[in-house]
Structure 1
Amino acid sequence: MTEPARRMLLLAATAAGFGAAGLGGVGCTSDGGGGGGTTASAGMSTRRTPAHSPGSGASPTAPATPTLPTIPPEPPLPTASPWPLARTEVEPLAKASAVRLLEALGTWPRGGQGPGPARERARARSRDVPPARAAHLVSRAAPLLTPAPEATVRVIAAQYGGLAGDRASVLVPLRQWRRAADGSVVDGGATVDVRLTRAPSGWQVRDLHPSCPGRPLARPGPLIRRTVTHDRIHLPPAAEADIRAGHLRPAPLRALLTLAESYDIDISVIHTGHPRNVFGTSRLSDHTRMRAFDVWAVNGRTVIDPTTPDALIDGFMRAAARAGAYRVGGPRLLGRGGEVFFTDRAHRDHLHIAFDSDA
């Protein structure tokens, strides 16, 4: 073989060797022992950091700085929104004293938890709270003082549970948001029967009776399930808990569902958080018998608001009677009243719908 022919053969073999090595690197994977390089795939390139080899002249790669996990900010608590008084209230100062005390007790900033700061908040309401009653009221407000770094109360409604001379009951369903230990927000609430007496300086809070609904039924029936999930029946926390615990009889549950076919209904009180007896009497309340519910707004219009059409409220009361209620109380006496419809000072701000059957 001539020299020129031998050179041509060597060049061809060398070229073929380089081509094979290059093709062998494309698409290969490494489990940690492979050399560095650039791998192309689907138009993207990922650069691997080459491993340091002694004597290669390359500098060792500095270890990457660890990235600390980002801690998400705590969700803010809803703001405390003071409950407004209507200009047509029968006893506006009684409601104001009841509501402002509960707002003060159940709302605190960081560092304000515990019975000591709660007593200070109660004493600060000196116009509403006799100084000697502050410690007692704090002890009665335990459901609103569950330990938490911070909390906010928002009153849903305030209605009269009864008015009798210089004594009053104001029923206050409310919602409370608390900060949990892990930073999350816990949503709860209660209904409080606030007892007041009239003093020379105005109405003062003497006692608190918070709701205590009990445990929900393990197997609630279809009436309960439909009521608590109905998008036109709006339940404050204690009222919903009452229904889930089985504290409303079938007749009022069926009536609620019937009324919700035509109305949006805002419930205030079902069972707990209501006086045991009809206020000022020895007669057992239909709420205690689990046969009644109270309504503070219909179609988003409050009963106490003077701009709410009479026809709306009167129509709801008549529909409740057609749905089986044997006693319907409200801001006006409908027709001749009789044994079904009634009115008094305590029912100017809500509708009382009661039944005489447990079935």
Structure 2
Amino acid sequence: MTEPARRTLLLAAAAAGLGAAGFGGAGCTSDGGGGRGTTASAGMSTRRTPAHSPDSEAPPTAPATPTLPTIPPEPPLPTASPWPLARTEVEPRAKASAVRLLEALGTWPRGQQGPGPARERARARDVPPARAAHLVTRAAPLLTPAPEATVRVIAAQYGGLAGDRASVLVPLRQWRRAADGSVVDGGATVDVRLTRAPSGWQVRDLHPSRPGRPLARPGPLIRRTVTHDRIHLPPAAEADIRAGHLRPAPLRALLTLAESYDIDISVIHTGHPRNVFGTSRLSDHTRMRAFDVWAVNGRTVIDPTTPDTLIDGFMRAAARAGAYRVGGPRLLGRGGEVFFTDRAHRDHLHIAFDSDE
């Protein structure tokens, strides 16, 4: 065989061997995208199975956690704070009986609202059952239905002392929990009537304040008085002024006095005895011509450390502002028709006017 023929035969044999290797045994197929292929044996399909084919079971999905609405916490009620008695009280047990009963009736925790628990609180103050039921009925303004409530006494002064009978006037503030969880701020002034018994002073009756509705168009004297930052009014006294239950003369005097003093008012109109205690004379408070003051410049009238010059100076300033009757813990000068004192006025100042204008 010639050399060219032999070369041709060898090339043909090599080509036949390469063809057999390409189709006979196991081989690798490409995915056509330059990525990793799948391996298949002879006679097996090389079709790919999608990652999430309809024939395959889907991986389990964790249940979604529900998002609960955020509920803001309820604002707390102010804490109860027993009113302190001064060591110079004229009848300390009378005042203690009055204020402690009102604190008990007007303060309750959750689950203790209503007249039944109120009667139990009264009985815990040594009030006999029949009288406890009566006093709870009389204290209705302090027992407005609420899940919980707190009372704080602002002041306590005598409305009158006559033998074995006494009147103690107690302006107080009360905070109640509303149905929506908010806090409602209110209050009253209560005329507490007591009698002296062998066992001590006993509460016989309660006369809470009941101010009228505020005037739709209050005049400038009223607006200036209730917004003055040196005139401090308990809830019932403020309500009295807003309802027009204080005449112009005492309103003008209050504004004049506030130019020189910080004034803490105790009683204006409602919550005060109708008559001068123990008499048949109509009170100037009933005539809407008077206001009572329990502290001046933050110093209480009853406190023995309060300077006499402060209280006496205020009383004289009230007379210069037009008051025709000024009562207090001491008789100023020779007294006369303007200044007076008695046992019931050791703890407050009575400022009264004889004009409706």
Shift of residue 214 of structure 1? Answer: 1.3
Shift of residue 70 of structure 1? Answer: 1.2
Deviations 1:106-127 (A, max 9, x none): 0001110000000111111xx6
Residue 61 to residue 199, structure 1, CA distance change in 2 (3 Å): same
Residue 225 to residue 167, structure 1, CA distance change in 2 (3 Å): same
Gaps of 5+ in 2: none
Residue 185 of structure 2 corresponds to which residue in structure 1? Answer: 187
Q: Is the 8 A contact 1:329 1:353 kept in 2?
A: yes
Aligned partners of 1:248, 1:278: CA distance in 2, in Å? 18
Residue 57 to residue 114, structure 1, CA distance change in 2 (3 Å): closer
Residue 55 to residue 209, structure 1, CA distance change in 2 (3 Å): same
Q: Is the 8 A contact 1:217 1:246 kept in 2?
A: yes
- Percentage of pairs with the same residue: 96
Residue 87 to residue 63, structure 1, CA distance change in 2 (3 Å): same
Residue 251 to residue 61, structure 1, CA distance change in 2 (3 Å): same
Residue 355 to residue 57, structure 1, CA distance change in 2 (3 Å): same
CA RMSD of aligned residues (A): 12.2
Q: Is the 8 A contact 2:119 2:129 kept in 1?
A: no
Shift of residue 65 of structure 1? Answer: 3.1
Deviations 1:167-196 (A, max 9, x none): 000000000000011111100000000000
Shift of residue 236 of structure 1? Answer: 0.3
- Count of residues in Structure 1 that have an aligned counterpart in Structure 2: 357
Shift of residue 73 of structure 1? Answer: 1.0
Deviates more, 1:103-112 or 1:2-11: 2-11
Deviations 1:122-156 (A, max 9, x none): 111xx653443110000000000000000000000
Shift of residue 27 of structure 1? Answer: 48
Shift of residue 48 of structure 1? Answer: 30
Residue 338 to residue 12, structure 1, CA distance change in 2 (3 Å): farther
Residue 114 to residue 60, structure 1, CA distance change in 2 (3 Å): same
| Secondary structure class of the residue paired with 1:334 | coil
| Secondary structure class of the residue paired with 2:169 | strand
Residue 61 to residue 98, structure 1, CA distance change in 2 (3 Å): same
Residue 67 to residue 306, structure 1, CA distance change in 2 (3 Å): same
Residue 305 to residue 7, structure 1, CA distance change in 2 (3 Å): farther
Residue 206 of structure 2 corresponds to which residue in structure 1? Answer: 208
Q: Is the 8 A contact 1:128 1:205 kept in 2?
A: no
Q: Is the 8 A contact 2:25 2:42 kept in 1?
A: no
Deviates more, 1:31-40 or 1:163-172: 31-40
TM-score (norm 2): 0.83
Residue 63 to residue 288, structure 1, CA distance change in 2 (3 Å): same
Shift of residue 207 of structure 1? Answer: 0.2
Deviates more, 1:13-22 or 1:211-220: 13-22
| Secondary structure class of the residue paired with 2:351 | strand
Residue 71 to residue 339, structure 1, CA distance change in 2 (3 Å): same
Deviations 1:20-61 (A, max 9, x none): 999999999999999999999999999999999999999898
Q: Is the 8 A contact 1:267 1:296 kept in 2?
A: yes
Q: Is the 8 A contact 1:37 1:47 kept in 2?
A: no
| Secondary structure class of the residue paired with 1:205 | strand
Aligned partners of 1:206, 1:11: CA distance in 2, in Å? 135
Deviations 1:185-213 (A, max 9, x none): 10000000000000000000000000000
| Secondary structure class of the residue paired with 1:25 | coil
Aligned partners of 2:10, 2:49: CA distance in 1, in Å? 35
Aligned partners of 2:322, 2:44: CA distance in 1, in Å? 73
Q: Is the 8 A contact 1:331 1:350 kept in 2?
A: yes
Q: Is the 8 A contact 1:52 1:60 kept in 2?
A: no
Deviations 1:265-316 (A, max 9, x none): 0000000000000000000000000000000000000000000000000000
Aligned partners of 1:185, 1:161: CA distance in 2, in Å? 31
Gaps of 5+ in 1: none
Aligned partners of 1:16, 1:263: CA distance in 2, in Å? 124
Shift of residue 318 of structure 1? Answer: 0.2
| Secondary structure class of the residue paired with 2:239 | helix
Shift of residue 67 of structure 1? Answer: 1.5
Residue 51 to residue 330, structure 1, CA distance change in 2 (3 Å): farther
Shift of residue 72 of structure 1? Answer: 1.1
Aligned partners of 1:21, 1:211: CA distance in 2, in Å? 114
Deviates more, 1:164-173 or 1:20-29: 20-29
TM-score (norm 1): 0.83
